[in-house]
Structure 1
Amino acid sequence: MLPISIFPRALSQTFRRELPKYFNQAELRLILSEELRQKDYSSWFLVFFLSRTGCRITEAINITVASIDFSSRTLRARILKRRDIYERAIPLTGEVIGVIAEYIASIGLQRHDKLFSFTRKTAYIKVQKACRKAGFDDKRCHPHTLRHTFAVNAILNGVPIPVLQSWLGHRDIYNTLVYTQVLATDSRQFAEYLQW
Structure 2
Amino acid sequence: MSGAHAEAFLEMLAAERGAAPNTLKAYARDLDDFATHARQGGRAIHDADADLLRDYMATLARTGLSPRTQARRLSCLKQFHLFLAREGVRPDNPADLLDAPRLAAPLPRFLSESEVESLLAACATETDSGTPEARRWLVARAALEMLYASGLRISELLALPRRSLAGAAQMLLVRGKGGRERVVPLSAAARAAAEALVAHDRPLGSPYLFPGRDPRRPLTRQGFDRILHDVGLRAGLDPERLSPHVLRHSFATHMLARGADLRALQVLLGHADIATTQIYTHVLAERLRQALEAHHPLAQATSGTESA
Query: TM-score per shorter chain, which class?
Result: 0.7 to 0.9
**1:150 to 2:251 alignment:** yes
Q: Residues 99 and 41 of structure 1: is their aligned pair in 2 closer, same or farther, counting only changes over 3 Å?
A: closer
Q: Residues 86 and 157 of structure 1: is their aligned pair in 2 closer, same or farther, counting only changes over 3 Å?
A: same
Instruction: Give the structure 2 partner of residue 177 of structure 1.
Output: 278
1:88 to 158, 178, 182: 182
Contact 1:75 1:91 in 2 (8 A): yes
Greater helix share, 1 or 2?
A: 2
Contact 2:123 2:231 in 1 (8 A): yes
Aligned pairs (5 A) from 1:91-106: 91-106=185-200
**1:122 to 2:223 alignment:** yes
How many residues are aligned here?
Answer: 170
Cα distance between partner residues in 2 of 1:110 and 1:67: 17
CA shift for structure 1 position 125: 1.5
CA shift for structure 1 position 41: 2.1
Residue range with higher mean Cα deviation, 44-53 or 163-172: 44-53
1:32 to 114, 120, 127: 120
**1:20 to 2:89 alignment:** no
The structure whose RCO (Cα within 8 Å, separation 6+) is larger is 1
Contact 1:73 1:92 in 2 (8 A): yes
Give the residue type in structure 2 aligned to 1:42. Answer: V
Give the residue type in structure 2 aligned to 1:86. Answer: R
**Equivalent pairs: percent with the same residue?**
28
Give the residue type in structure 2 aligned to 1:104. Answer: V
Cα distance between partner residues in 1 of 2:247 and 2:205: 26
1:77 to 150, 174, 193: 174
Contact 2:161 2:207 in 1 (8 A): yes
Instruction: Give the structure 2 partner of residue 45 of structure 1.
Output: 142
Contact 1:127 1:141 in 2 (8 A): yes
1:59 to 148, 153, 156: 156
CA shift for structure 1 position 144: 1.1
Give the residue type in structure 1 aligned to 2:155. Answer: T
Contact 2:120 2:145 in 1 (8 A): yes
Contact 1:67 1:77 in 2 (8 A): no
Long gaps (5+) in structure 2:
1-101, 126-133, 212-218, 292-308
CA shift for structure 1 position 70: 4.7
SS of match in other structure, 1:17: coil
Give the residue type in structure 1 aligned to 2:143. Answer: L
Give the residue type in structure 1 aligned to 2:110. Answer: Y
1:133 to 224, 234, 259: 234
Cα distance between partner residues in 1 of 2:242 and 2:154: 13
